[in-house]
Chain A
Amino acid sequence: MQLIYEKSMPGRTGVRIPLCDVPQAQPFPEALRRKGAAGLPEVSELDLVRHYTNLSRRNFSVDTNFYPLGSCTMKYNAKIAEDAGGLFAQCHPVLALLPGGEKLVQGPLSLVHGLEQQLAEITGMDEVTTQPLAGAHGEMTGIMVIAAYHRARGDNKRKYVIVPDSSHGTNPASAAMAGYQIVTIPTAPYGDMDLDLYRAAMNDEVAAVMMTCPNTLGLFNPHIAEICAIAHEAGALTYYDGANLNAILGKVRPGDVGFDVIHVNLHKTFGTPHGGGGPGSGPVGVKKGLIPYLPTPRVAKKEDGSFGVEAHPEGIGRVSDFFGNFGVMARAYAYITLLGREGLIEVSEQAVLNANYMMARLKEAYDLPFDKTCMHECVFSASRQLKDGVHAIDIAKYLIDRGYHPPTVYFPLNVKEAIMIEPTETESKETMDAFIEVMLEAAKLAQEKPELLHEAPVTMPVGRLDETRAARAQQVCCEQ
């Protein structure tokens, strides 16, 4: 397929911009003027429409096919929530910050406030900020809030953050970005963080422990209350990575268990689009004692019932412009409001049931390193197939040929040849059955005709890509 630049013809255009009919007050400074043309592609409107329509037909999305990408919660995004997101497109976000502007944006401000309250109720926290723009951004915000809390108390000796090895990889990265050293606790044979090693690592130099629960193996840690108590006894705080909240909606509130800080991913749990890099949204919730350190400004409900924007002077400052990715927040607000309490409980029940169905039906053909009831996702290993020379990547590529987005492979790192499947609650039994049949076929092919798996994909515009060469010889500029 040609690039849009390769379709460019000199002089061809889709629009004619009228000449300026307003006298220019001041000539544009010569030094700032472009010396040549901008180098944009010159195409007709039809060329442009065809180009992007054809590109979109090569795209894979949850609107076209099943997308069981583990750890990513690729659920269907209801179109009614999409409509809600679009309602605010004409409203400029700076209005809320201008003198007298608040009264012009009561709707959007009440939405920010309402979403913060919904999320606080769902997670068991006291207050929430919607500023963080993604999950990892939420993690960093949360850890900075924790650091501000310790600093404000004059407790300056805490330099470590404890992270189990089954946490999301962004956890240690976020804590390190916030200036902490990382202590990693390995997974015990029972599939959760090794409690004895955790106890031994906890002391008055630890600022926080970060738990991903359910963890990246899709397992719920039954010791989280004890883990929180051990941290609090040492004066450390507890951080809950809520990226996998889809598994526990309406069942467990991390705030009730003893967690002090949580981030949630609106783009995963709360039905807003993601994939391809965003936009995301990673609101952070905290317990009472940490509220002063939340980012500034805050949306507050005034005594007369109207909404306003308040500075939050003790906070860690701004972590994004305005109030976060507002369009994503509007979609999540619509999703939560539509489903309500009962609906959200059904979400987690169906998500967990679907993942367990997948696990039960595939464990005959694939090794299951941790054979326990799973939560929203299950992790297999292709180690049995490896004996016939077939890797997890070969199975993944075969699934592409069969019309499925592959599951996550080679993650989590503590499972060899990992295949991580998250069906989500929005898939029917028929869709899962069809996928399961293809997975069983792949396991059979691995024994009988492994070369067919090695060759996959064969139905796509491009065959097997050389991922190593792509990473080693990076050429990211288009030759003119």
Chain B
Amino acid sequence: MAKFFTKEHEWVEIEGALATVGISEHAAHELGDITFVELPQVGKSVKQFDTLAGIESVKAASDIYAPLSGKVAQVNSKLEDAPETVNESAEGEGWICKMEGFDAAELGALMDAAAYAEYLKGM
């Protein structure tokens, strides 16, 4: 399935029962060199657009918001030692966590890749 994006620059991609979440290439570029990713606790339940995780770069500290409601099933623990992975591959290897128990209908509140690209042009 394809990626969907939030206005706050998170992405989500559903594969079966799991939804992978990360931040967009644009967000990673804007943040600059990322120095720390505060991963969520496995088992944490969040509502769509609530704070899910945190991320720090040399320039700023930001919240990462949940693109979908659900429960955190896995986290990308590789980021604990190698936060730069987010800079290298924000929309691939640098994923933040995987969620379960979500409702795919909530994707309706997000943008597809084309709409997100258009949204970035307007910024």
Chain B residues whose C-beta falls within 8 Å of the C-beta of A413 in the assembled complex: 59-60
> A2–B81 Cα gap in the complex (Å)?
31
Is B84 interfacial (CB 8 A cutoff)? yes
Chain A residues whose C-beta falls within 8 Å of the C-beta of B24 in the assembled complex: none
Is B33 interfacial (CB 8 A cutoff)? yes
Q: Mark A459-480, 1 if CB is under 8 A from B, else 0.
A: 0000000011001100000000
Q: Are A471 and B36 in contact (CB under 8 A)?
A: yes
Is A410 interfacial (CB 8 A cutoff)? yes
Chain B proximity of A464: nearest CB distance (Å): 13
> A410–B59 Cα gap in the complex (Å)?
6
Chain A residues whose C-beta falls within 8 Å of the C-beta of B60 in the assembled complex: 410, 413
> A468–B60 Cα gap in the complex (Å)?
12
> A471–B31 Cα gap in the complex (Å)?
14
> A468–B58 Cα gap in the complex (Å)?
6
Chain A residues whose C-beta falls within 8 Å of the C-beta of B83 in the assembled complex: 472
Chain A proximity of B87: nearest CB distance (Å): 9
What class of interface size applies to chain B in its complex with A? under 10
Chain B residues whose C-beta falls within 8 Å of the C-beta of A410 in the assembled complex: 59-60
Which residue of B is nearest A472, CB measured? B35
Chain B residues whose C-beta falls within 8 Å of the C-beta of A467 in the assembled complex: 33, 58
Which residue of B is nearest A418, CB measured? B59
Number of residue pairs across A and B with beta carbons under 8 Å?
A: 19
Chain A residues whose C-beta falls within 8 Å of the C-beta of B84 in the assembled complex: 472
Chain A proximity of B38: nearest CB distance (Å): 14
> A467–B59 Cα gap in the complex (Å)?
10
Chain A residues whose C-beta falls within 8 Å of the C-beta of B59 in the assembled complex: 410, 413
- Residues 25-52 of B at the A interface (beta carbon under 8 Å): 33, 35-36
Chain A residues whose C-beta falls within 8 Å of the C-beta of B35 in the assembled complex: 468, 471-472
Chain B residues whose C-beta falls within 8 Å of the C-beta of A472 in the assembled complex: 33, 35-36, 83-84
> A405–B69 Cα gap in the complex (Å)?
47
Q: Mark B52-66, 1 if CB is under 8 A from A, else 0.
A: 000010111000000
- Residues 163-194 of A at the B interface (beta carbon under 8 Å): none
> A410–B61 Cα gap in the complex (Å)?
12
Which of A410, A467, A471 is the most central at the interface, judged by chain B CB atoms within 10 Å of its CB?
Answer: A471
Chain B proximity of A413: nearest CB distance (Å): 6
Chain B proximity of A421: nearest CB distance (Å): 19
Chain A proximity of B81: nearest CB distance (Å): 9
Chain B proximity of A46: nearest CB distance (Å): 41
> A393–B46 Cα gap in the complex (Å)?
37
Chain A residues whose C-beta falls within 8 Å of the C-beta of B33 in the assembled complex: 467-468, 471-472
Chain A residues whose C-beta falls within 8 Å of the C-beta of B36 in the assembled complex: 471-472
A468-B58, A472-B36 known; 8 new pairs, CB 8 Å cut-off, are: A410-B60, A413-B59, A467-B58, A471-B33, A471-B35, A471-B58, A472-B35, A472-B84
The 5 A-B pairs with the shortest beta carbon distances in the complex, nearest first, are: A471-B35, A468-B33, A410-B59, A467-B58, A472-B35
* 19 pairs from A and B in contact (CB 8 Å cutoff): A410-B59, A410-B60, A413-B59, A413-B60, A467-B33, A467-B58, A468-B33, A468-B35, A468-B58, A471-B33, A471-B35, A471-B36, A471-B56, A471-B58, A472-B33, A472-B35, A472-B36, A472-B83, A472-B84
